[in-house]
Amino acid sequence: MSDITLYHNPRCSKSRAALALLEESDITPRVVLYLDQPPDRGELEELLRKLGLGIRDILRRGEAEYKQYQLDDSSLSEDIVFEIVAKNPRLVERPIIVRGERAVIGRPPKRVVELLED
C-alpha cells in the first residue's frame, strides 16, 4: 500500500503518532513536510475534496495567526481565507493522511487505521 501520503509536522505528537501507526502497518508513506512545502490553493482544494471538508473546517483555531487574521470573522471570503492559509501553513490541522481519493485528519491518530481498513 504505497499510495499513502502524510502531510506531516515532525514537531507535532499527533503527526508523529500517525507516522508510527503507518510504519507499524509496514507502510512507508510519502511524507510532505507541509510547513516547508506549503500546499498551494489547488492542492488545498484537492485535499479538502478528499476530506469532504471546507477550508474553515481544517483551521487550527488556537494558532496566533488565526487571531491575527481574524479568521473567526465569517464575512471573510473563502478566497481570502485560502490566501491566508497558503501563506501560513501552521493554520492547517494536522496530520492529514491521504489514500487515493480519500483523506482523514489524524486526530485522534487511530483515524489513520480507519483509512487503511477501507
Residue 1 pLDDT level (bands cut at 50, 70, 90): very low
Task: Please tell me the distance from the alpha carbon of residue 29 to that of residue 4, in angstroms, as a whole number.
Answer: 5
Average pLDDT, the chain: 94
Number of domains in the chain: 1
Confidence of residue 34 (pLDDT cuts 50, 70, 90): very high
Domain of residue 79, CATH code: 3.40.30.10
Residues 70-85 have pLDDT tens digits of 999 999 999 999 999 9
Q: Residue 40 belongs to what domain range?
A: 4-117
- Active site residue ranges: 12
CB 106 within 8 A of CB 96: yes
Q: What is the pTM of this model?
A: 0.92
The pLDDT score that the predictor gives to residue 2 is 57
Q: Is 5 helix (H, G, I), strand (E, B) or coil?
A: strand
